[in-house]
Amino acid sequence: MIKLFHTPRTRSLRVLWMAEEMGIPCEIEPVEFAGPKTDAFKAANPSGTLPAIVDGPVTMTESVAILQYMADRYGPTDLSVKAEEPGYPDYLQFLVLGEGGLGAPLNGVIGTLFRGPEAERSNWTVGMIKEGFVRRSRLVANQLAKHEFLAADRFTAADISVAYALGIGIGLLEMGDQLGPALVDYYKRMTARPAYLRAAAK
């Protein structure tokens, strides 16, 4: 069974959401976001970031990589798209975009706005990162103008990856007006799924 080191609303939510969609039992090890970390967590992820999983001899810490690992290790599942399917390039594109292009750059904004000196919270770098987030989100909006989901005309791990990142912008950073109604509606639709609601409640 996968052991997931988890703090609500962090990137470990992606992993828990995937587990709920797949019906995979998951042992949750709670982690205090700002508190002291257990030896078990530090052994699983010396960087101290979330998430971290331990699955037998396997230890992983990158949320998007974990989604693909779960699909391959515990599938087959329609949450993944195979290389021979027409939607495979879109799947890879948006699976990675959710963190590499959208989520990860926002770490600098979050750190500055919530932990930085008050006089520096509206600096040029914060504006540049937020503008880049909005610009890259147009890739998502363009895809959704043609399809209900991001890849292969079905809900996949790419939707989990991107919806989580949009949630940072829409929920935490209150950027919904900048992203536009189509992306806000997509985020609401994805997070209304029963599997998401179960994961978010844990």
Give tens-digit pLDDT for 71-121: 999 999 999 999 999 999 999 999 999 999 999 999 999 999 888 888 888
Average pLDDT, the chain: 96
With CA atoms as reference, report the closest residue to 83 among 66, 68, 97, 101: 68
- Predicted structure pTM score: 0.96
Instruction: Read off the pLDDT of each residue in 4-21 and give the average, rounded to a whole number.
Output: 97
Cα separation values, 50 from 14, 45, 161, Å? 11, 8, 15
pLDDT of residue 35: 84
- Alpha-carbon span 121 to 115, nearest angstrom: 9
pLDDT of residue 105: 96
pLDDT of residue 58: 98
Q: Are strands 2-6 and 52-55 parallel, antiparallel or unpaired?
A: antiparallel
pLDDT of residue 158: 99
Q: Please tell me which residue, 117 or 23, carries the higher pLDDT value.
A: 23
Q: Which amino acid is at 25?
A: P
Q: Which domains does the chain have, with CATH numbers?
A: 2-77 (3.40.30.10), 88-193 (1.20.1050.10)
Q: 57-88: buried (b, 16+ CB within 10 Å) or exposed (e) per residue?
A: eeebbebbebbbbbbeeeeebebbbeeeeebe
Given a cut of 90, whether residue 34 has pLDDT beyond it is no
pLDDT of residue 86: 95
* pLDDT per residue as tens digits for the range 121-152: 889 999 999 999 999 999 999 999 999 999 99
pLDDT of residue 11: 98
With CA atoms as reference, report the closest residue to 54 among 42, 44, 62: 44
- Alpha-carbon span 127 to 122, nearest angstrom: 7
With CA atoms as reference, report the closest residue to 67 among 106, 96, 100, 107: 96
